[in-house]
Amino acid sequence: MEPDQPLEILYEDNHVLVVKKPAGILSQADDTGKPDLLTLLKNDIKRRYQKPGAVFLGLVHRLDQPVSGLMVFARTSKAASRLSEQVRTHQLGKQYLAVVQGYPAPMAGRLEDHLEKNRQTNLVRVVEAGKGQQAFLDYEVVATDPERQCSLVHITLGTGRSHQIRVQFASRGWPLLGDQRYGPAAYVDRQKNKVQMDLALFAYRLTFKHPTRDELLDFSINPPDTPPWSYFRATLKP
């Protein structure tokens, strides 16, 4: 994301802010000093509203650095507390689209694993029951591309573990396209056509109860029309 590139804010009021996170930037600052969405949003709010002091903005969930899509931030401490509770009790709905190598079988189902993260390497792996953290998600194959031997998959996240979607699919032989950590170093279509692609994981839908109103908010957007999403242009049309 370029420093002067505008942020794509879908919704904002006094309590919440819903934004599209670009691929390649952090959700929250770490010790690398790379750009992060939380800081960019704080600076944007400070500029737009000419706030003289520090800006409060609560991070209630994250997306991995290479993942793009919808995120919600809290603009008050009350909203942060209530949204965090929705995350904890799985009431904040997160749905994703992914393009995976191969053809998941069955065409729809639930993936359940125990995952363990190596803090030194920042890599996650599937471990035996009784170790790590329990993780599950539901998926459905929406379309397949026999020419490129890949599938478009719809995912409803049950638990939000680190790298969960990437690890669960890769462990079954269906790595996400463009995944430099858990997939092949180069995808065959990229080798043939020299296609450069980001990680094929997109947080396309977000649902949650407004923290101060009895109202369910529901947001959805399409992934970019670039490879590998463009392989499924007909399926993903608005």
The per-residue pLDDT for 100 is: 97
Which residues of the chain carry a pLDDT beneath 70?
A: 1-5, 185-196, 238
User: Running DSSP on this structure, what letter comes out for residue 3?
Assistant: T
At 185, phi and psi to the nearest 5? -60, -30
Give the pLDDT of residue 5: 66
Question: β-pairing, 201-209 with 68-74?
Answer: parallel
Q: Can you give the residue ranges of every domain in the chain?
A: 8-229
Which residue from 166, 181, 202 is spatially nearest to 121, judged by alpha carbons?
Answer: 181
| pLDDT given for residue 97 in this prediction | 98
CATH topology for 8-229 is Pseudouridine synthase (3.30.2350)
Catalytic residue IDs:
64
What is the enclosing helix (H) or strand (E) of 135? strand 133-145
Distances (CA, A) of 220 to 93, 111, 209: 11, 24, 15
**Amino acid symbol at 69:** G
d(CA 207, CA 46): 27
pLDDT (0 to 100) of residue 114: 96
pTM here is 0.90
pLDDT at 190: 45
Structural tokens at position 227: 């490879």
- Residue 115, class by beta-carbon neighbours within 10 Å (0-12 exposed, 13-18 middle, 19+ buried)? buried
pLDDT confidence of residue 142: 97
- Integer Cα distance of 225 and 235 in angstroms: 12
Output the pLDDT for position 33: 81
Given a contact cutoff of 8 angstroms between Cβ atoms, the answer to whether 52 and 184 are in contact is no
- Tokens read off for 67: 């993942």
User: Per-residue pLDDT tens for 175-204?
Assistant: 999 998 898 754 555 445 545 678 999 999
| 83 contacts 92 by C-beta, under 8 angstroms | yes
CA torsion angle for 91, 153, 70, 110 (degrees, to 10)? 20
d(CA 18, CA 69): 10
Give residue 166's pLDDT: 96
pLDDT for 160: 85
Model pLDDT, residue 32: 82
